[in-house]
Structure 1
């Protein structure tokens, strides 16, 4: 609770004092530092690349990892989370499909997946509801479908 109060107080009085503790403050400082050092326009695509590289999950590429910022989560838990989706959100469906049929998935994002459904046919599977696609909801389905075609057929019914 003290830590939470300290962060709220810092956000109210001096957000920059939380660099190294609050992710968005730290990231803003990094991006602004690059912008100022290289005299870049705020819309320069190099800054967009820095923005993405900051959160790159590969430790050798991540700007965050190089900073040595305070971490609240065990690095091993982070590594595990990159390949093991949580079982209680739609990420479970997305992660399991990516693990089982990586060559048949054309696109995957927060709210949909696009599968290669044979030949040149693509099938979009909407995932608008975060609470659907959980292990409880689709675990058995994914365990019993042997092919993408079977999965898509069963999802259609």
Structure 2
């Protein structure tokens, strides 16, 4: 049984019209001497895939790119896909779509906390229980460059 379209109520938000009115430019890029085009991330139909890919799940990133490439995916599969280059591509695709890494499409607003502040379980102090300062050498972090 398929759902029949209904006439919208007067005060009903028309998400279909609002989404259709948004201008989302595709993201063209060049790789291995060839031109490619993927849609704006807002035009990928499964936002959960974007969220998984944004957490740097490599399999999800590959799946998202395959979905985005559509009929170009098989040709793209025939060229080298070095991980650092694909991560850079993903970062640029996010930026083109108005997102930063770690900021997958989700709600824009965060709800406020409903919890009351917890009571401290102990007093805080920075004083040492010993009467004289330590004679041990201060530890420093290694600053080797690789």
Shorter-chain TM range is under 0.3
What is the TM-score when the length of structure 1 is the normalising length? Answer: 0.24
What is the TM-score when the length of structure 2 is the normalising length? Answer: 0.25
Question: Which structure has the higher relative contact order (CA within 8 Å, separation 6+)?
Answer: 2
